Amino acid sequence: MEFSTNVEMISVCSPEGRLQPLRFRFEDRDRSLRRVQVLEVLSCREIKYVTVEAYEYACRTRTEEREALMRIRYAVRSHRWSLFLGEST
């Protein structure tokens, strides 16, 4: 099972149009605000479904002095970032 939540993202866009996530924050299940720094983007893949075009980033991140691997997605049409937890696709 997979769980996702929308996040507030700070990112940069290269002159070629590539997005680079830098840091984000989200509200966890306990309603606490979590701040996450993206240390390294390990991979980026394009996702295309019938009505969805998105990019999924596998990232090495740090939150509260703890490192973790996280998957975040950028939905092109809605311009929204989401954090995905659970099985990778």
pLDDT of 33-58, one tens digit each? 999 999 999 999 999 988 889 999 99
Question: So where are the chain's domains?
Answer: 2-86
Q: Are 31 and 48 in contact (CB under 8 A)?
A: no
Q: Could you report the per-residue pLDDT of 53-64, keeping only the tens digit for each?
A: 999 999 999 998
- This prediction has a pTM of 0.86
Q: With contact defined as beta carbons under 8 Å apart, do 3 and 60 qualify?
A: no
- Cα 6–Cα 57–Cα 45 angle in degrees, nearest 5: 120
C-alpha R_g of the chain: 13
Query: Quick one: DSSP state of residue 77?
Result: T
